[in-house]
Structure 1
Amino acid sequence: MYDFKQIEPYWQKKWEDEKTFEIVENDKPKYYVLEMFPYPSGKIHMGHVRNYSIGDVVARFMKMNGYNVLHPMGWDSFGLPAENAAIKHGIHPDKWTKENIQEMKEQLKLLGLSYDWDREVATCLPDYYKWTQDLFLKFYEKGLAYKKKSFVNWCPSCETVLANEQVVGGECERCDSAVIKKDLEQWYLKITDYAEVLLQDIDKLDGWPEKVKIMQKNWIGKSTGAEADFEIKGSDKKLKIFTTRPDTMYGVTYMVLAPEHEYVEELVKGTEYEEAVKAFKTKIQHMSEIERTSTDTEKEGVFIGQYCINPLNGKEIPIYIANYVMVDYGTGAIMAVPAHDDRDEEFANKYKLDIVPVIDEDSKMINSEEFNGMDSKEAFEKIVQKLEEAKIGKKTINYRLRDWLISRQRYWGCPIPIVYCDDCGAVPVERENLPVKLPTDVEFTGKGQSPLITSESFMNTTCPKCSKPARREMDTMDTFIDSSWYFLRYIDAKNENEAFNKELAQKWMPVDQYIGGVEHAILHLLYSRFFVKVLKDLGMVDFDEPFKNLLTQGMVLKEGAKMSKSKGNVVSPLEIIEKYGADTARLFVLFAAPPERDLDWAEQGVEGCYRFINRVFRLIEELKDCVNAKDELNNLTKEDKQARFVIHSTIKKVTDDISGKFGFNTAISALMELVNEMYKYKENENRKECILKEGIEAIVTIISPFTPHVGEQLWTMIGKEGSVSEISWPKYDETALVKDEIEVVVQINGKVRGKLNLSANVTREEMQEMALADEKIKELIDGKEIVKVIAVPKKLVNIVVK
């Protein structure tokens, strides 16, 4: 029997004691496999089991194929949950996080994962975030980090800024108060400077899923169009708009500004429209961006009492503010063409505004003065030319991508290494004084902007330039910063002099196989790509992209729904490991579905995998002495050849399935067929011990990446020394895959009626003759007219009768 409670702890300790998976720099070809590191919540879940089992199979398989495999693990350990725990339970985030890391590390070790724990990193430790701060300063010195005012989610009750994920249905998740927007100074990174190269280089990512590449392209959102200036009547100000359809400019009947647009307050001040505008701005403060831009949300707005002038025809156009225009998208102002835009049409109908069509059903221009009758594509260019000649506009490219807001008004994050001096302004902390450490003397009340403000020792400092009293930046960095470069720190995790060594980075990067959830398809992956491109420009690396190949695994579901505590459908990995063993849990998540698809949890499937492992143990126990076989591969019978065919076709299929398409489920299925064949062949009175030896050695080596504890135990059972993970992956014998006989299906009118075992060299004509000569087939077609006989070489014969 498979005694997992004895076997698994034994091998886990042995791997740890012997440092089986510690990386030693050598001349073998490198392979860097990486799963996205977890947030240390304290408990692993089935999503972790699936993600990390997938990565472990790849790591072990590549190691057995002669690669020097880098397979590290660490912790994305800054973030809001730790702070919430401090507020709720009175436990310091540092203590809470470190305890969770220790607990999760022990749980992950139960899975038998081949990590080099010597390279472990935790983003919340000073030896990591020192280099996060150093990289921030490099961005700052390059002009890629800056501060400006922007709107944030603000809970008036908690008196604190909330991240988008803390706003549920427009309310604070902590106290259920209505959330409003508040204008605060925030730090940004200029990712927009890299929009074009980020977009263009997506086409280099041949090893990424197409859907992820499309998502990134859409997020960057490149569009070609024109900028144009609309003068505000009676003012020296102009509204700059960007449009992808300059050919529709003669159809503009009103202008829409984001309620937060910088001109709005000034344009209504002291007018009869001021109160209505204020009321509307207050109303939309309680709406999220998603709500405001949703196609289902009713389009609402307010006239601000001002007009602008269409630069092409001089017509006066009323200016509105509306909920569906965002200040951070484009210029925060749009020209509305209700005849050719659904949102604009809905708004125009609601407020009884003009609707003027300018393109007919044949894509010809109408109501557009000298452009009438022109094809709209031609008019696009001609109208842009007119704008440029009049110096009131120009052809331009716009991106949906906005600069990355990295400020977080929280304690548990990487401190931003900037101080503020009354004389010198914003001053970067000197590198010799990094890391700027998080203080311990803070209060966690859930009130106010950031717990850091409660630490006098942290807030008050001296200016690095003039040594006068200064105050530190109170914001910390978005945790996406930490995960945008962690894959580089793994390469050189203990380097005390720099974030990572360039030569080592050049050797190991890019990551050969990255594995994680599709929910990170845009932000994390885009930010990591951005970081690498900046680091290349800084001369710190010589490559363009961080991840060569990407696998986005599906979720683990129960009864068709995502596992969650609220639904009461969570299956604990620890309970499964306790009941069936870690290898059973691994085998099930790898076998139950292809990795890119969602997996529906089924206890009977787990039990089936447990029974299979026990079946393998019984087979190997019975046949283990065959490894000393003295007979030779000669005078092979039909049964001998069939057994060898299954052995070597299984080796080939598993090799192809793992290395080519992550077909773990089909690979395991082939392994199960091999086990069945060996059970069948061992009953053969004339069996050859040398063939059984081939079979059981193939089973033991092939099963080991999927169920590593089982693999090691079986390896010792058959009298082998060392670790099975250190041996070479088995090679298949091409000659064993050549069959003397093939099975040909015989159909009558497309329905299978028989099967024939024929020579592998049989011709099409011989197939037809043998099918028609078969006694069973002759009976079935007796008295019927044969219309035609179709033969597919070496596969089937279909006899069409009437």
Structure 2
Amino acid sequence: MAMNERYEPQAIEGKWQTRWDEAGIFRAGSRPGAPKKYVLEMLPYPSGKMHMGHVRNYLLGDVYARFFRMKGFDVLHPMGWDAFGLPAENAAIKDGVHPAVRTAENIASFKKEIQSLGYSYDWDREVNTSSPEYYRWNQWFFIQMLERGLVYRRFSKVNWCTGCHTVIANEQVKDGVCERCDSPVVDKEMPEWAFRITRFSQDLLDSLDTLKEWPDRITSMQRNWIGRSDGAEADFRVQGHDASLRVFTTRIDTIYGCTYVVLAPDHKLVAQVTTPERRAEVEAFAKRMAAQSKTERLGEGTEKEGVFTGAYAENPFTGQAVPIWIANFVLSDYGTGAVMSVPAHDERDFAFARKYSLPVKVVIQPASGDALPAGDALEAAYTEYGVLADSGSYSGQTSEQARQAMASALEKDGKGQATVTYRQKDWGFSRQRYWGTPIPIVYCEQCDPDRHGIPVPVDQLPVRLPEIDTQAVLTGKGEPPLAKVASWVNTSCPKCGGPARREAETMDTFVDSCWYFARYLSPRYDAAPFDPKEAQRFLPVDIYVGGPEHAVMHLLYFRFWTRVMKELGLSPVAEPVTRLITQGIVNGPDGRKMSKRWGNVVAPASIVERYGADTARAYVLFAGPPERDFDWSDKQVEGVFRFLKRVWTLAATHHEASAGAAHDGAYEGKALEIRRAAHKTLKRVGEAIERLSFNTAIAAIMEGLNALTDLGTPESAAEKAAMGEAMRTLAVVLTPFTPHIADEIAEAYGSKDFTVAQEWPAFDPALVVDDVIPYAVQVNGKLRAEIRVAADAAEADVRAAAEADEKVQSALAGKTLRKFVFVPKRLVNFVVS
């Protein structure tokens, strides 16, 4: 087959994509006896338009999927759609288009763009989370978890978005507004369904130590989010009332320095303990706090403020009365909603005490050095551990000793105990939306007067979303959309058969993405969420690629869900992913994150149409290390396109002479150098892929191309055969990055199979080491000579060769050697005096 002289990607890329698809080359399970690799990228929300951030995310996984296939693995590399969600519902409210219609259109558009880039997906395993066949199993999981106490109904304060008219997670509140629509977020108390994720808090925390191939920043964020605190609870009896305030503290050793206690403004005891003369001011403050979000109250720059209730509580150790305040920095749903304040040993308490002229009492002194002055003269809180002072019988003990002794004393006296708390809270997942999984619960006044909820029988799943009049139901106002659909919400009780109402709320879409990776294993399996045999074969996911912004939501939720699946006997593993790769952001040409808001989005289709998919792929991979952000550059795209044209030109130039050339004898001279260049490139690219350094892998291919080009036209039979081998090798190393041009060149040079189906070749060790390499020889950092030694020479051999050089001997004469510095393959330095 003759090669076109010009590189025309549009003429070859569609052809190879069709061939791959017809051959089913990317189907998992085709190598049942081979070791497995499960490579996965976070599934996209189909907004209808891909951007280059998507391209980068999927490319990182695609390189590995192709590489591992060539290394002999049975690779599972699937794709699907996170298709439920608020954006589609908001669009329906705005445009009057049913979310199902809009979502289907977006998926078709998104899929077409994905396929145009040549990703190696097994499309037989495609899933759509908005299909009843998928969300049926969301409902099944709900019922299983309800039976095990992992799902419950509660009343709680939630973040209510005034624009989206729904509950959003804490992580979705940015500076008091919704990150999606920029509308104010307010606290609102309402019933909701919650997953008891806190049952797994300690296990989720402990297991972070086993995630050796997760980025440290992700495990650190999860560790901080779970937020284990070891401390003690202590009861402060309220004077004049039959009530006690239970506080949690990690510094019980400082309790003798407590000079006031603080309640959350909405703590249940505030109304009971507030004195009449303080009531108006307390209620006004509490009302003002209720109108603020948690983010506003706890923001880094937020001023700490509070109001005295007029009441006093007794310190359980000293019996001393301390005033009870309410303040903006205490939340009712964190800890016990009450804190003891020790201003001498806590920065926040110190600032608050100084602001409101409250006493400061020093009870911890440094273990060494100068003693702290009295509280009135203290300039800043001393927050370190130390030795107790002015603390009764505990004076003289270290903080560590006192913490244990005081906790034991509280428990003995029935006034408290040592305890552990977690920052992590249970996951409230019910949402006031239409476009989500219906919660499989009905309410029957006769059978369920307390409205705990009656689960729909499993054999009646899925509870399908009803067809709706979009404009009548999706108004964005009033009750939840499903409550407006009388024919759906009114049903019969599964227990008594009488009239009942369905739960009108739907599940958070994070439920969909908690377990989708397992549904890929057997997307049409009907007996369970997925086939346990396939789980035994492919779980855990070996490589997972996605953004770091998902650290404490998706990435924590699906670790929780995998544990549930293991308890249910479905999953053989508790941790879903072995290696996590978090990619950086692709910024627009203006240096800002690509966004419709800024008008700086670069559409992949525009690059593919002009330069081809391989150029788009190679540019994104070559732009920088995967974890780093980079700014889009049209100039650099052009540069990558020129690189691929040079690859094509080299292959086309030598095609006629080298494609079928053979040589049985020795390779010497230029023929040997051609083989060296090819094998060095093969070695460098393979090693770079293994260490997730795709940009340096492509750089190695560029250097190999330069070396082969510089060697000129092959003339002898050996040189022609060596060039043919080099071009086939070049096609192989290009395959993970630019698979279309790789297959075209490989076919032109005689390949009968796709390059991705070929074995990744082993480099010849004898061809990747130079016979001799130069070393610079320095004395006290000054260059004295250059020697040439065997490339694999040991340090002792290099030193001996350097010391044998006449110039070096002269520079060392009469000197005392202090140190010998050896930099492999570069230089040696004699430090003398």
TM-score bracket for this pair, using the shorter chain length: over 0.9
Contact kept, 8 Å, 1:160 with 1:448, in 2: the verdict is: no
Task: Tell whether 2:113 aligns with 1:107.
Answer: yes
Aligned residue number for residue 152 of structure 1: 158
Question: Does 2:703 align with 1:676?
Answer: no
Corresponding position of 1:375: 398
Contact 2:129–2:135 (8 Å) recurs in 1: yes
In the alignment, is residue 49 of structure 1 matched against residue 26 of structure 2? Answer: no
Distance 1:666 1:174 in 2: 37
Alignment match, 2:675 = 644
Q: Give the secondary structure class of the aligned counterpart of 1:678.
A: helix
Moved more, 340-349 or 441-450: 441-450
Letter in 1 for 2:96: G
Question: Cα offset for 1:276?
Answer: 2.5
Candidates 253, 262, 277, aligned match of 2:282: 277
CA-CA distance at 1:261 after TM superposition: 2.1
Partner residue, 1:608: 639
Cα gap change, 1:494/1:159 in structure 2, threshold over 3 Å: closer, same or farther? closer
Q: Structure 1 residues 257, 114: CA separation in 2 closer, same or farther (over 3 Å shift)?
A: same
- CA 272–612 in structure 1, closer or farther in 2 if over 3 Å, else same: same
Cα deviations by residue, 1:609-648 (Å, 9 ceiling, x for unpaired): 10110100011112234232222351623x4444333322
Shift of 1:557: 2.0
- Deviation at residue 565 of structure 1 after TM alignment: 2.7
Distance change (3 Å), C-alpha of 1:333 and 1:640? same
CA contact (8 A) 1:682 1:692 kept: no
2:307 partner SS: strand
The aligned residue for residue 410 of structure 2 is 387
Does residue 423 (structure 1) correspond to residue 450 (structure 2)? The answer is no
Cα deviations across residues 728-749 of structure 1 (Å, max 9, x unaligned)? Answer: 1111112223433222335576
Q: 1:364 aligns with which of 361, 378, 387?
A: 387
Amino acid of the structure 1 residue aligned with 2:156: S
Match of 2:304 among 299, 321, 330: 299
Show the 5 A alignment for 1:243-392. 243-268=249-274, 271-362=276-367, 363-392=386-415
What's the CA shift for 1:224?
1.0
Alignment of 1:764-783 (within 5 A): 764=798, 767-768=801-802, 772=806
Distance in 2 (CA, whole Å) between partners of 1:316 and 1:462 is: 58
Please give the alpha-carbon distance, in whole angstroms, between the structure 1 residues aligned to 2:38 and 2:219. Answer: 22
Task: Look up the match of 1:713.
Answer: 744
Q: Is the 8 A contact 2:773 2:791 kept in 1?
A: yes
Secondary structure at the residue paired with 1:500?
coil
Moved more, 43-52 or 687-696: 687-696
Whether the 8 Å contact between 2:176 and 2:296 is mirrored in structure 1 is: no
Aligned to 2:383: none
Residue pairs, 1:538-557, within 5 angstroms: 538-557=568-587
Q: Secondary structure at the match of 1:491?
A: coil
Where 1:562 maps in the other structure, the secondary structure is: coil
Q: Deviations over 1:52-88 (max 9, x none)?
A: 0111000000001111100000111111101110111
SS in structure 1 of the partner of residue 158 of structure 2: strand
Select 2:467's aligned residue among 421, 440, 452.
440
Contact residue 175 and residue 296 of structure 2 kept, 8 A: no
Match of 1:532 in 2: 562
Code of the residue aligned with 1:315 in structure 2: it is Q
* Mapped pair 1:408 → 2:442: no
Distance 1:449 1:281 in 2: 28
Give the corresponding residue for 1:626: 658
Is 44-53 or 1-10 further displaced after alignment?
1-10
Q: Which residue is 2:242 aligned to? A: 236
TM-score by length of 1: 0.94
**Are 2:761 and 1:730 equivalent residues in the alignment?**
yes
SS in 1 for 2:308: strand
Cα deviations across residues 549-586 of structure 1 (Å, max 9, x unaligned)? 11111111245432223333322222222221111111
1:140 corresponds in structure 2 to: 146
Structure 1 stretch displaced more, 371-380 or 49-58: 371-380
Aligned to 1:657: 688
CA deviations on 1:433-454 (whole Å, 9 max, x unpaired) are 1111112225111112421121
From 516, 535, 541, the counterpart of 1:505: 535
Q: After TM superposition, give the deviation of residue 141 of structure 1 in Å.
A: 0.5
Percentage of pairs with the same residue: 47
Following the alignment from structure 1 to structure 2, what is the Cα–Cα distance between the partners of residues 303 and 67? 68
Q: Aligned residue for 2:696? A: 666
Once the two structures are superposed, residues 394-452 of structure 1 have per-residue CA deviations (whole angstroms, 9 ceiling, x without a partner) of 11111111111111111111111111111222100011111111122251111124211
Letter in 2 for 1:488: A
> 1:696 Cα deviation (Å)?
1.0
Residues 314 and 322 of structure 2 are in contact (CA less than 8 Å); yes or no, is this contact kept in structure 1?
yes
Which amino acid letter does the alignment assign opposite residue 406 of structure 1?
A: F
The equivalent residue for 1:690 is: 721
**2:549 maps to which residue?**
519
User: Gaps spanning 5+ residues in structure 2: where?
Assistant: 1-5, 368-385
Equivalent residue in structure 1 for 2:502, among 472, 487, 492: 472
Given the superposition, is the C-alpha separation of residues 412 and 748 from structure 1 closer, same or farther in structure 2, using an over 3 Å criterion? Answer: same
Aligned to 1:219: 225
Deviations 1:128-185 (A, max 9, x none): 0000110011110100100111112346788765665776654578998754322101
Counterpart of 1:73 in structure 2 is 79
Alignment equivalent of 2:13, drawn from 8, 22, 35 = 8
State TM-score, norm by structure 2. Answer: 0.90
Which residue in the other structure is 1:195 paired with? Answer: 201
Kept in 1, the 8 Å contact 2:677–2:708? The answer is no
Q: Please give the per-residue CA displacement for 1:579-618, whole angstroms capped at 9, x wherever unaligned.
A: 2111111101111111111122222221111011010001
Q: CA deviation at 1:20?
A: 2.0
Cα 1:376–1:157 shift into 2, 3 Å: closer
Deviation at 1:754, TM superposition (A): 7.1
Superposed CA RMSD in Å reads: 2.7
Maintained 8 Å contact 2:777/2:786: yes
Q: Deviations over 1:709-768 (max 9, x none)?
A: 111111222122221111111111122234332223355763668755445587446633
Please give the secondary structure, in 1, of the residue aligned with 2:501. Answer: strand
In 2, the alpha carbon distance for the partners of 1:459 and 1:206 equals 48
* Paired position in structure 2 for 1:484: 514
> SS of the residue aligned with 1:479?
coil
Q: State the alpha-carbon separation in 2 of the partners of residues 713 and 164 from structure 1.
A: 51
Q: CA contact under 8 A between 2:41 and 2:58: conserved in structure 1?
A: yes
Q: 1:444 to 1:795 in 2, by over 3 A?
A: closer
Name the structure 2 match of 1:561: 592
Please say if residues 660 and 750 of structure 2, whose CA atoms lie closer than 8 Å, have aligned partners that are also in contact.
Answer: no
Structure 2 CA distance for partners of 1:487 and 1:173, relative to 1, 3 Å: closer
The secondary structure found in structure 2 opposite 1:484 is: helix
